[in-house]
Amino acid sequence: MNKLTKRQKYIKEKYFKILYHNPLHYCPISDERIRLAPITLERIIDMVINILETEECDGVLWEKIT
């Protein structure tokens, strides 16, 4: 997995975990049936960040940092 930004790292640590102690399998904390490879996880996190950048969530506006 590439070096993660602070926002990527925050989402990864809060919502995903390593499955069966194997660093090549990640899953959402709430559902272990979904298995993700590291590159797929990174792409999903980027999609979530792109959505959060345009939406206000619980009073927090995730602005794009340039």
The residue that leads in pLDDT, 17 or 52, is: 17
pLDDT of residue 23: 86
pLDDT digits (tens, 9 = 90+) for 29-43: 999 999 999 999 999
Residue/partner pairs of 1-5 with CB below 8 Å, 24 or more apart: 1/38, 1/39, 1/41, 1/42, 2/42, 4/42, 4/45
- State pTM to two decimals: 0.72
Per-residue pLDDT of 44-63, as tens digits, reads 999 988 887 776 656 666 56
C-alpha 38/C-alpha 36 separation (Å) is 6
Return the domain boundaries, the chain. 6-61
Q: Identify the three-state secondary structure at position 19.
A: strand
**H helix or E strand, kind and range, residue 54:** helix 38-54
CA 23, 9, 61, 44: dihedral to nearest 10 degrees?
-30
